[in-house]
Structure 1
Amino acid sequence: MPPHSREDAPPHRTPRWIALGWVAVLTVVAWHHVPKAHANHTHTGSNQLHLSTLHGNNGTSTTPGDQDEQYCVQSRSTSINGTQMANFIEETLAKLSTIWDGTANWRVDLWRASKFCFDYDSATRATIEYEYHIKDDFYEVSLCGGDYSCVVFDNGVYDGSHTHYKWGYSYLQTEHVNGYNTRARKFINHETGHILGLMDPSYNGHCMNSVMHNDLYASMGCTDPVWYPTASDKSSVTRIADRTNTW
């Protein structure tokens, strides 16, 4: 499903007076699939759906800087142990042989927060760029709708070139990730790809070797079982970080 505007916002990490940016939802479905756009297709133009920190890196080997991507995890399902899921997400993003962490010469620098998202006060939570929420469904808050997982962006910031976003949220359906297996990693890596600016395929057969175009989209003709970010995915994110994503 192409990105579209939403009036409803994700759970706020800051007081209500903080202005909300344009909110977008990008979705992927478990067994029935929706149109997408190739991983080499990135958001271009004046509004680009990615974290604003993607263009920089200023942390150390032990401490994240304000240009790094700190994330927290929050289980909102009684069937998902929050610590187990946080460990699994961290492993998927940063501890396996093929990962997002370190992409674009470390401008993708992912740091797991020490506590669950809801355990922070609003001011501290506002400094965390990215959140993963796991719930049985997000339909009732009109975020993803039924059996979708999705990404939502919040708090747009204009940098002189384009608008990008201070905060991103991955809303993961429980049944998409509760196996703690390769399928779960597909969803985690796919939704993280959206946070970093990548899009789903946009028409039937629009497939390539990409975690954004894998067999989650079998109904669109995509059969690649890849569950990790590929070289194409990483080069696409590098173009976004370099501000050269013009096609």
Structure 2
Amino acid sequence: MSLHSPKEVSPSPRSPRWIVLAWVAVLSVVAWRHVPVAYASHSHTGSTQLHISTIHGNNGTATAPGSLDEQYCIQSHTGSIDQTRMANFIEETLAKLASANIWDGTGSWKVDLWRAAKPCHQIDSATRASIGTEYHINTDWPNVSLCGTYYSCVVHDNPVYEGGHTHFKWMYSYLQAEHVSGYDTRARKFINHETGHVLGLKDPAGYGTDCQASVMHNDLYGCPSTVWYPTANDKAAVTRIGNYQNTY
């Protein structure tokens, strides 16, 4: 387990403080905010790698998740975002569109995404501790390091050492309501971008640099590409991570 016990508080139900074992992975911003964001062909390397621990395996079935599959829950913290509509939209974005446009199935199903039936805060603590990723939506995140008012971000928690490196059992994607309230391709860009960070993709050195066909670095991040879905570049990078090949 972790030094942090699961419990139902906001903004993080499983981490009372953002000072120990919490790693801020990635920032996403509205189009006019000029900050570094993403370079999909690069992943985290070395002894600590910022990705979900389950990405290296798969043991579920076609109808039920296994312990090595990527389960996630979703919770709206604001009345401006309808819980059911947003949960359905995120699930559709990740797993229910055309196979070429979703993360689900990446890396020979090492990425096998399963949505929990209930919002995060309605899940009992023991079950919730087994769910690797949580998506939270609010108008701002003043208590989440580096999210604040403008940013969506991913935080990694509960480090586990396996396979020659440390990765993380719990991931929190904190989405700004303004980024996803349109339920459109722009919203999908933010959801897919943050999910890329959950799966181990990282940011470039600067805004508008190293542009390529990637949801990790599109027009929201200073590049000409308007792609809103994980591209072949993105999926190849995640596949390398899943196969323990992210050494560059």
Matches of 1:72 and 1:200, distance apart in 2: 25
Total equivalences in the alignment: 232
Match among 162, 186, 190 for residue 187 of structure 1: 190
Alignment correspondent of 1:135: 138
8 Å Cα contact 1:33/1:216 also seen in 2:
no
Structure 1 moving runs of 4+ over 3 Å? 140-143
Alignment correspondent of 1:73: 74
Match among 191, 199, 216 for residue 220 of structure 2: 216
8 Å Cα contact 1:21/1:165 also seen in 2:
no
8 Å Cα contact 2:75/2:120 also seen in 1:
yes
Match among 200, 203, 211 for residue 200 of structure 1: 203
Matches of 2:146 and 2:118, distance apart in 1: 24
How far apart are residue 36 of structure 1 and its match? 3.3
Three-state SS of the structure 2 residue aligned to 1:153 is strand
How far apart are residue 70 of structure 1 and its match? 0.4
Alignment correspondent of 2:52: 51
Three-state SS of the structure 1 residue aligned to 2:196 is helix
Three-state SS of the structure 2 residue aligned to 1:188 is helix
**One-letter amino acid of the counterpart of residue 242, structure 2:** A
Deviations 1:171-212 (A, max 9, x none): 000000000000000000000000000012223432111000
Three-state SS of the structure 1 residue aligned to 2:179 is helix
Alignment correspondent of 2:149: 146
**One-letter amino acid of the counterpart of residue 148, structure 2:** G
Matches of 2:224 and 2:152, distance apart in 1: 20
In structure 2, runs of 5+ residues without a counterpart are 1-9
In structure 1, runs of 5+ residues without a counterpart are 1-8
Three-state SS of the structure 1 residue aligned to 2:41 is coil
Deviations 1:127-166 (A, max 9, x none): 1110000000002444512210000000000004100000
Shift in alpha-carbon separation, 1:143–1:127, aligned structure 2, 3 A: farther
CA RMSD across the alignment: 1.6
TM-score of the two chains, using structure 1 as the length reference: 0.90
Matches within 5 A, 1:4-43: 11-13=12-14, 21-30=21-30, 31-43=32-44
